[in-house]
Chains A and B, each alone.
Chain A
Amino acid sequence: MAAGQVIRSEWTKIRSVASTVWTLSVAVVVTIALGMLISALSRSQFDSMPVRDRLSFDPTFVSFAGMTLGQLAMIVFGVLVVSNEYSTGMILVSLAAVPRRAGFLFGKVAVATALALVVAMATSFAAFFLGQAVLGPYRAHLGDPGVLRAVVGGGLYMTLIAVFSMGVAAMLRSPMLSLGILMPFFFLISTILGNVDATRKIGRFLPDQAGSRIMQVVPRLGDERPYGPWGGLGIMVLWVLAALAGGYVLLKRRDAR
Chain B
Amino acid sequence: MIEAVGLTKRYGDKTAVYNLSFQVRPGTVTGFLGPNGSGKSTTMRMILGLDNPTSGTVTIGGYPYRKLPNAPRQVGALLDAKAVHGGRSARNHLLSLAQLSGIPARRVDEVLGVVGLQDVAKKRSKGFSLGMGQRLGIAAALLGDPQVLLFDEPVNGLDPEGILWVRNLMKALAAEGRTVFVSSHLMSEMALTADHLIVIGRGQLLSDMSVTDFISANSADFARVRTPDTEPQLREKLTSALTEAGGHVLPEQDGALRVTGLPLPRISDLAHAADVRLWELSPHQASLEEAYMRMTQGAVDYRSTVDQKAGLQQPLPPGAQPPMPVPGQGQAGWYAPPPPQQGGRPVPGQAPAAGPYGAQPGPYGAPQGHPGAPGAPNPYAQGQAPAMPAAAPAPAVAPAPAPADLTKTQPEDDAR
Contacts and interface: CB of A to CB of B under 8 A. Distances in A.
B49 interface: yes
Nearest to B66: A99
Contacts of A94: 100
B51 A93 contact: no
Given A16-B92, A99-B66, A255-B52, A2 B72 contact: no
Interface stretch (B78-86, B212-220, B268-276): B78-86
Nearest to A256: B50
B234 interface: no
Contacts of A2: 102
B100 A97 contact: yes
A220 interface: no
B99 A96 contact: no
A88 interface: yes
B32 interface: no
Contact of B101 (A5, A88, A257): A5
B85 A88 contact: yes
Contacts of B50: 92, 95-96, 255-257
Interface in B136-169: 140
Given A93-B97, A256-B50, A13 B83 contact: no
Interface size band for B? 35 or more
Given A18-B87, A99-B65, A93 B140 contact: yes
Given A5-B102, A6-B100, A256-B45, A96 B85 contact: no
A92 B45 contact: yes
Contacts of A13: 85, 88, 92, 96
B87 A19 contact: yes
A184 interface: no
A98 interface: yes
B71 interface: yes
Contacts of A1: 70, 100
A17 B85 contact: yes
B64 to A, nearest CB: 9
A10 B48 CA distance: 21
A25 interface: no
A89 interface: yes
A246 to B, nearest CB: 19
Contacts of B79: 92-93, 96
B99 A9 contact: yes
A15 to B, nearest CB: 8
B390 interface: no
B68 interface: yes
A131 to B, nearest CB: 34
Contacts of B87: 16-19
A17 B80 CA distance: 20
Contacts of A95: 48-50
A13 B94 CA distance: 10
A17 B88 contact: yes
Interface in A196-217: none
Q: Which of A9, A97, A100 has the most CB of B within 10 A?
A: A97
Nearest to B68: A99
B291 interface: no
Contacts of A92: 45, 48, 50, 79-80, 83
A9 B121 CA distance: 18
B89 interface: yes
A88 B97 contact: no
Contacts of A253: 52
A88 B88 CA distance: 11
A12 interface: yes
Interface-central residue, B48, B49, B50, B52, by most chain A CB under 10 Å: B50
B77 interface: yes
Given A84-B85, A90-B84, A98 B96 contact: no
Contacts of A5: 99-102
Interface in A230-257: 253, 255-257
Contacts of B49: 95-96, 99
A89 B99 CA distance: 19
25 contacts: A8-B99, A13-B88, A13-B96, A16-B89, A17-B85, A18-B87, A84-B85, A88-B82, A88-B85, A89-B80, A89-B83, A89-B84, A91-B83, A92-B48, A93-B83, A93-B97, A95-B48, A96-B77, A96-B79, A97-B100, A98-B72, A99-B71, A255-B50, A255-B51, A256-B51
Interface of A: 1-2, 5-6, 8-10, 12-13, 16-19, 84, 88-100, 253, 255-257
Given A97-B71, A97-B101, 7 more contacts: A2-B102, A16-B87, A92-B50, A94-B100, A98-B100, A255-B52, A257-B50
A-B pairs with lowest CB-CB distance, top 5 = A89-B83, A256-B50, A16-B92, A9-B99, A255-B51
